[in-house]
Amino acid sequence: MTEPNQLTVYANTSSLSDFYNPIGVYMQTIAVIAQKGGAGKTTLALGLAVAAMQDKKTAAVIDTDPQATATNWTDRRDAETPWVVASPVARIKQAIAAALSQGVELLLIDTPPHASQEAAEAARVADLVLIPVRPHLFDIETLKTVRDLLKLAGEPPSLVVINQAPVQGSAAQQTAAAIRNMGFTVAPTVLHQRAAHMHATNVGQGPTEFDPSGKAAAEVIQLYKFTRKLIDKLKKEANHGQTEPTSARA
Ligand SMILES: Nc1ncnc2c1ncn2[C@@H]1O[C@H](COP(=O)(O)OP(=O)(O)OP(=O)(O)O)[C@@H](O)[C@H]1O
Ligand SMILES: [Mg+2]
């Protein structure tokens, strides 16, 4: 059984992209995908992008969802960053090239409601795929389809993020165990059901801006730091020609 803080990511790290921006900084790329609508993809992508910005990193979101939820969020936002760029998945390479030329250091790709060909394309170009899943059987069952999609995408490193977990009870732990048994790696940070996520996005913010000392903010920052470290580690290992499995310590 994998220890909560000891992650093993089964992935072909040699497939990691080679995205260095003009000042020689590696651009980390995270695709957020889920088969079930409303799992929290957009909220997660925006929350991580804002956390990156507050960490003084240049962050951007590519919004491949025709619903344009992430793009509309910028209309309610005072600040100009993080950038959110609407782009159909067919033009994702051009959008990535534009982000690189702008010196982006963390790029999030938000995807449409159902894991699809589009989501597979986003997963294919990502260093890491995040899969938000609510602790509900209906959501967990969809992971079989997500697994097929990841295969189609060439098995990029991926992490399931338990999202909207009740703050009380053991649903998150039980869900994590069930998901690990399906062969997925589960992020050590659980994002609980917290109103700050909705309040923040309603006013064009991330939870780390809306309530910086709140619990939602603390969870997003923890996940942000973890994913950045994990991608750094995957990248280093890829550079050293290692293949699967690859481990990262939070
Ligand atoms: N951790 C959380 N706590 C409370 N509410 C949350 C949390 N994460 C997401 N939500 C809420 O759940 C709803 C769906 O979230 P979101 O729009 O991010 O999902 P999505 O996967 O992008 O949906 P879609 O499939 O339609 O694109 C929103 O109202 C959002 O505010
Ligand atoms: Mg969305």
Q: What is the CATH number of the domain that holds 76?
A: 3.40.50.300
- Residues, CB-to-ion distance under 5 Å, ligand 2: 41-42, 69
Task: Answer whether residue 246 shows pLDDT above 60.
Answer: no
How confident is the model over 104-155, as pLDDT tens digits?
A: 999 999 999 986 888 999 999 999 999 999 999 999 999 999 999 999 999 9
Pocket of ligand 1 (CB under 6 A): 34, 37-43, 65, 67, 69, 113, 163-164, 191, 193-194, 197-198, 201
Residue 3 domain-assigned? no
Residue 117 domain-assigned? yes
Residue 76 domain-assigned? yes
Residue 116 domain-assigned? yes
Task: Answer whether residue 244 shows pLDDT above 90.
Answer: no
Q: What is the number of the ligand 1 atom nearest to the C-alpha of 195?
A: 4
Highest mean pLDDT among 28-32, 92-96, 135-139: 28-32
Average pLDDT over the chain reads 89
Residue 28 domain-assigned? yes
How many domains does the chain divide into?
1
Residue 46 domain-assigned? yes
Residue 75 domain-assigned? yes
> Whose C-alpha lies nearest to ligand 1, atom 7?
164
Domain carrying residue 133 = 12-249
Residue 217 domain-assigned? yes
How far is 52 from 57, CA to CA, in rounded Å? 5
